Chains A and B, each alone.
Chain A
Amino acid sequence: QVQLQESGPGLVKPSETLSLTCTVSGASFSAYHWSWIRQSPGKELAWIGNIYYTGTTNYNPSLKSRVTISIDVSKNQFSLTLSSVTAADTAVYYCARDMGATWGQGIVVTVSS
């Protein structure tokens, strides 16, 4: 079955760039959109953006100026970078297939000096 696994640092300093990678197994990478979603402590789920295997991306307008999602089909991975982070970017970050058909377990990212 499809499995997704997030990886990356759990602690990022303010003003620096957050970088996460999602490794996908058990799925045809080119058949779906691949999404990043985050959940701040005690708060709602927020869609960050997605990417198709062709490299076409869609971003949440509220984050668009700071977000880049990229894909490496040869490695079955897609990645998230979020620049100029602040404490407000502290959250659990999830990668997911399509709008959320399958999710990774999530990775906690804390923004703190």
Chain B
Amino acid sequence: DIQMTQSPSSLSASVGDRVTLTCRASQGIRDSLAWYQQKPGKAPKLLLYATSRLESGVPSRFSGSGSGTHYTLTITSLQPEDFATYYCQQYYHTVLTFGPGTTVDIK
């Protein structure tokens, strides 16, 4: 299986901050990378897929980039509703795998 890691595991930020979350795959996944946002007690919500494609209805302050084994999610101008846990997921391999998540909380 392809192992996914995320860093940092948590971060504290303020409204209006720019934050960057990192996701690494144990082998190349050819941009088959998705990002999800999860709030307590809710199902994850797809934000981006294919590394940088924004899911319909997701604000443009979310963006993704990367290639090979290294990927990032950037949130420009953090909003109150963005405080949540973010997961990356590779779907290049038949066995899909998720990262352990990065929790973004209020400083």
Contacts and interface: CB of A to CB of B under 8 A. Distances in A.
Interface in B41-79: 42-46, 49, 55
Interface stretch (A24-32, A65-73, A75-83, A98-106): A98-106
A101 B98 contact: no
Contacts of B96: 35, 47, 50, 99
A60 B89 contact: no
Contacts of A102: 46
B43 A47 contact: no
A45 B49 CA distance: 17
A60 B44 contact: no
B26 to A, nearest CB: 15
Give the residue among A47, A94, A106 with the most B Cβ atoms within 10 A. A47
A94 B46 contact: no
B81 interface: no
B43 A94 contact: yes
Interface string B20-49: 000000000000001010000011111001
Given A45-B87, A61-B1, A100 B46 contact: yes
A58 interface: yes
B52 to A, nearest CB: 16
Interface of B: 1, 34, 36, 42-46, 49, 55, 87, 89, 91, 94-101
Interface of A: 35, 44-47, 50, 58, 60-61, 94, 99-106
Given A47-B98, A94-B43, 8 more contacts: A44-B87, A45-B44, A46-B98, A47-B96, A47-B97, A99-B91, A103-B45, A105-B42
